[in-house]
Structures are given as C-alpha cells and as structure tokens.
Amino acid sequence: MKFEIGDKILLLHSKEEGTVVDIINADMVMVEVGKVTFPVYLDQIDFPYFHRFTSPKPAPQPQQRIQGYDIKPEKKKYEDNIRMSRGMFLSILPVFRLDAYEEHVQSLKFHLLNETSEAYRFNFQVWLKNSMEMEIRNEIQPFSNFYLSDLMFESLNDSPRLEFVFFPKEKNDKLASSFPKTWKPKAKQLFLQLSELQTRRDATLTQVLFEKYPEKSKDDKPYFDASSVGSMSAGSNMTTAQAAPEPPAQPKYELDLHIEQLVKEWKGLKNIEILAIQLNEFVHYLELAMAHHQHTMIVIHGVGKGKLKDEIHAILRDTPGVERFVNEYHPRYGYGATEIFFRH
C-alpha cells in the first residue's frame, strides 16, 4: 500500500490537501479534507510535497500609491464563505473483493451526509425480511457526515429497507415536527448503478433523502403513525410517514456499552454491526456529557480483544473537550472501563 493512515495527500483534480484516515482496500482509502471525510481511489491522489515545491509562487503586485492617502484593500465579503445548502443524502460506498481475477461487491457502507446549515436528530433502522436488524439514534451536525452501518451485498435478496426519521435539533414552530424517509434498494437496479460507478471511476453513490426540510403543515401529527411506515406508491421507492420526536436523552455519568444493554435482539448481529452500535451510542453520550458540562464520565467497554476500547480511546484523543482519560484497574470494573475528564 502506497499510503498509510495519517499520510498527507493531494487531490489531483482540485489540488486540495487532506489526510488519509482509513484504508478501505488495495485500491481505495478514506481521506479527510477540511472537516469532510470521503473515499477516493489511489490514482486520484498523490503526496503533496512535489506539488508544493513546483507550484510557481505568485509575483508580488506593485503597490499603487494614491496621493494624499492609501486605499485599503476591500475585505472579502462574508457571504463568499457561506457554503451552499444542498440537502440530506445517503452515501453508499461499495467495498469490492477480488475473486478469481474479477472484482465483486462484497458489502455496502452507508454514511449520512448533511449538506445543510442546520443540525438534526435522527433515528435510523435497518430491516431485513420485515425484521429490524439494527437501530441508531443520534445527531448530525451541519456540513458533516455520519457513519451508519455496513450491509452485505447478498442481503439485497432479503428485501432490505433503510428507515430514517429526522427531527430539527433546534425548536422551530415553522418546520415539521418530524420527517421520515424509507429507502428500499432493489438488487438489479443497484447492481447496474454500481457497474456505471466503476466505469466512471467514482467512489460512491448518493440517494437524496431531502433537499429542504419541510415546513409544518396543517396535517402535522404529534404522534407516530405506524401504519404509514413502509407503504410505497407504485412509482417510487421513497416513502414518508409522521412521527413525534422522543424526549431528549439525558446525560449519563456511567455508560455501559455491553451490546445486551443496548439492543434486545443482538445475537444475530455481526461483530462490525455490534461495534458500530456501541460507538454510535458512545459518541452520542459523549456529546451529551460535554453539552451538559459534566466533569467526568465512566465508559464500561469490557476487556475482550480491546477493539472497542481502542476505538473509544482514538475518539477521545481527537475530541477537544476531553482533558484526559485513564484506563486503570478499578475495584468495580477491573480494566474494563475508561474514566473521562472533561475540559470546561
């Protein structure tokens, strides 16, 4: 592999610099540019150092003197820096495997992309054969992305559906109390889209969830209408239902991440699905703790192989609100818990 996690890279098409944050496979890596994380092929990036040293430096502009006083350069308008609001999207990243010298799609990675200037709370569920496989409840900040889950490609034969319910994080009487969407991927249609994706050498597919969050209507219901979830019209694979936002979650001073404490039906889940649920729960209550100005929080992750603990510690190292954290022997938890101290 030419690149490693932490390497600085240059996007060849836009000349933007970023950092490698994950290795997807032999042909693709996940990079972070600014605050946006996305996958790219290796032939779309390079190391930035050659570009830095070979780029011509702009020639200094001669200063024009105006008799009597100098005119200061006009400041760039603030509006020029405002990012365009495009909507909420589901990003689908195919992960390929090489089988007998031919690539096949092994799984699909789903990310939620918030290309708006507003923060939203959301509920996310994955259903297979009319049985809920996993559920995530969390928040997504403006112009950011959120990893949701993986789906094995063969699961497309199990009538999958991905259900979302969005709620405005900030109270706004003009907006709908909730906005659900359901996406039912069709195996044949998705296979054709992935084939076109490889031809174009693009990394991801995107599914529009909404371009603009809807305003409140006369029929806006303050309760969950279960009968309307999953119903589809003949010409569309997106559905809308009404749901009431749940009361806001309260912070916890002790967070138990054992999967049996988070999900009732967990025995059929794969390890990667369990880890995703645990990390999403951890990030949710970590943000709640900082928002409520907690001084400490204990996270119970267990001992095991240490994968969950390592992922938690990596997140804590990159969180500015965390002053320090320790994983020492505790008479109650042994070495299976980490104590976090926040900076206020």
DSSP 54: H
Is 67 within a domain? no
Find the domain containing 23 and state its range. 7-54
Q: How does pLDDT run along the chain (344 residues), one tens digit per residue?
A: 678 888 888 887 777 888 888 887 777 888 888 777 778 788 788 887 655 555 555 555 555 544 444 444 444 444 444 578 889 999 888 887 776 666 777 888 888 999 999 999 999 998 888 788 888 889 999 988 888 888 888 888 888 889 999 999 988 888 888 888 888 887 777 777 777 776 666 677 888 899 999 988 776 654 343 333 333 333 334 444 444 444 556 788 899 999 888 888 778 888 877 888 888 888 888 888 888 888 999 999 988 888 899 999 998 998 888 999 999 888 888 889 999 999 87
Q: How far is CA 204 from CA 193, 211, 255, 295, in A?
A: 10, 19, 35, 40
190 and 146 inside one domain:
yes
194 and 142 inside one domain:
yes
Determine the residue type at 260.
E
Q: Cα–Cα–Cα angle for 84, 89, 90, nearest 5°?
A: 155
Question: What per-residue confidence (pLDDT) applies to 69?
Answer: 40
Is 283 within a domain? yes
Torsion angle of C-alpha atoms 284, 141, 121, 135, degrees rounded to 10: -50
92 and 144 inside one domain:
yes
Is 244 within a domain? no
Question: What per-residue confidence (pLDDT) applies to 101?
Answer: 66
Q: Exposure string (b/e) for 251-272, b if CB count within 10 Å is 16 or more?
A: beeebbbebeeebeeeeebeee
* Contact predicate 203/39, CB 8 Å: yes
Is 82 within a domain? no
Is 265 within a domain? yes
- Please tell me the distance from the alpha carbon of residue 209 to that of residue 194, in angstroms, as a whole number: 19
Find the helix or strand (DSSP H, E) in which 41 lies: strand 36-41
Question: What per-residue confidence (pLDDT) applies to 167?
Answer: 92
94 and 204 inside one domain:
yes
Instruction: Output the domain CATH number for residue 162.
Output: 2.60.40.1600
Is 284 within a domain? yes
Sheet with strand 254-256: strands edge to edge: 254-256, 296-300, 337-342, 322-326
Question: What per-residue confidence (pLDDT) applies to 164?
Answer: 92
**Domains of the chain: total:** 3
Question: What per-residue confidence (pLDDT) applies to 73?
Answer: 46
Assign 3-class secondary structure to 103-123: EEEEEEEEEEEEECCCCEEEE
| This model's pTM is above 0.85 | no
120 and 172 inside one domain:
yes
Classify residue 224 by burial, with Cβ atoms within 10 Å: 0-12, 13-18, 19+: middle
